[in-house]
Structure 1
Amino acid sequence: MKLQHHAPQQQTSLEENERLRSGFAGDERIFLFYNLKDARYRLATRWAWLTSFDNVWDACDAFEALELAEGDVRVLARWSRKEIARVPRTRFGRDAGSMKRINYLVNSIERRAAGLRPQPCGRKGSVERWIPARHSSC
């Protein structure tokens, strides 16, 4: 009688994730992983998953914005995801690969941390102003 060796049904989290980048956000270490199982890009600290993205461009922009912004990394990650969903890469046109988008993300995240929220105004909503948020979760 031969013994059959079965591979484990569930892989460990280290085998499912490939680390792409690492850096520091303030005094906390942050990582950018690619999850092989879900085909998503995830931002994480050593202790917790922060947020995830469908494409590498948004994930890298959020990673760089977290490195430049100051504050609680978990809150900043949530706001960076919200800002990336609100402002598409196409808004920056041919400068999409420059630091303009990251600078805009950092400024928006810091404004949200200060208790403000964006309000589109002007013709076709092409201008935005920042007004006090109705509640703290923006």
Structure 2
Amino acid sequence: MNIKVKSILAGAVLGAIVFYVAAYCILGHTAAIVLPGSIADWAKENSANFPVLFVWELLVVQLLGIGILSAIAAYLLLRITSLKWLYVAIGFVAADLILSHVFLFSLSTLENLSATNFIWFAPHFIVVFLCVFIAASLGGKHQSV
């Protein structure tokens, strides 16, 4: 089998595993981290609720909940294998994107589906994309194989 195909498949499997672990074990805990009242009050007074909540979701909920795990997993996979980092990252992000949309369009969420749901998935995609591509690139540069 071609090394590029192996890399994509390995990335996709890793992405699916990380998505499952984060979605069902970690993200609920990081989502429970409350925005400090002083920041919330400032955002309300300055009509900055959306940007403040977006940044909080990006940096606190998603980065701590799935970003760090994604980065570590991608980096370690590439450190111990001779896979191509770009294709591992593409497979990882593709699997995460597919599973996220499957979750978004599941029967339990369809009744509440709106454009807002898609906006609030943006921090997830931004964090996963950046963390995986940066970590995969670094892991590819430091491959031991």
TM-score, normalising length from structure 1?
0.24
Please identify the structure whose Cα radius of gyration is greater.
Answer: 1
Relative to its length, the structure with more strand (as a share) is 1
